[in-house]
Amino acid sequence: MRRLLLDRFIPYRLSVLTNKVSGAIARRYSERFGLSIPEWRVMAVLGETPGLSAREVAARTAMDKVQVSRAVASLIAARRVARTPDGDDGRVGHLTLTRAGQAVYDQIVPLALGLEKTFLAALSREERAILDGLLTKLTRQAQCLNRGGQESADGRTGAAGP
């Protein structure tokens, strides 16, 4: 059996890589705009699709509803996001960027793309395309891990998804 050298272990290497990248991005957004990663994500989706509800934001950002709730609360306090109640459903609020929020959005997008470009500069165009495909495949596969996907899946995985 292969010896488990930690630095050959793909999940570990993925984790280290992600922490470096996310940390670098988080630091910059925190310094320049006072945004946390969850806040940044909320602004990103609201910039793309105004009027989403908190639940819809959560669905698009792979965050849970608590995280979204807190990020939204903080963004509203900073007057970067506004909530307008839904006419039909009193529970739902529609979220949009304020003018100030839009101004921030217009800055964070190029900064994000610039950072991504720097990051991907280590790869050729072809490699970037391959990476894209691998991420897609692996992300799909990762679902299996969360259900009993391997060996003695001892049933305790309460996630009985559709």
Partner DNA sequence: GGCAGATAGTTGCATATGAAACCATCTTGC
Partner DNA sequence: GCAAGATGGTTTCATATGCAACTATCTGCC
Contact residues toward DNA (CB under 7 A) are 36-38, 53-56, 64-70, 72-73, 88-93
SS3 54: helix
Among 73, 100, 123, 129, binds its own copies (CB under 8 A): 123
Characterise 59 by phi-psi region: left (phi > 0), alpha (psi -120 to 50), beta (else): alpha
Q: Single out the residue of 3, 88, 90, 99 in contact with its own copies (rule: CB under 8 A).
A: 3
Query: Using the rule CB under 8 A, is 5 a contact of its own copies?
Result: yes
Task: Give every CB contact of residue 87 below 8 A, 6+ residues apart in sequence.
Answer: none
Question: Considering CB distances under 5 to 8 angstroms, the limit depending on partner class, which of its own copies, DNA, none binds residue 100?
Answer: none
Alpha helices in the chain (DSSP H): 10-33, 37-48, 54-61, 65-77, 99-120, 125-146
Residue 111 binding: pick among DNA, its own copies, none (C-beta 5-8 Å cut-off by kind): its own copies
Is the Cβ of residue 20 or residue 137 nearer to DNA in the bound state?
A: 20
Q: Which is nearer to DNA, 65 or 128 (CB)?
A: 65
Shortest Cβ 29–DNA spacing (Å): 12
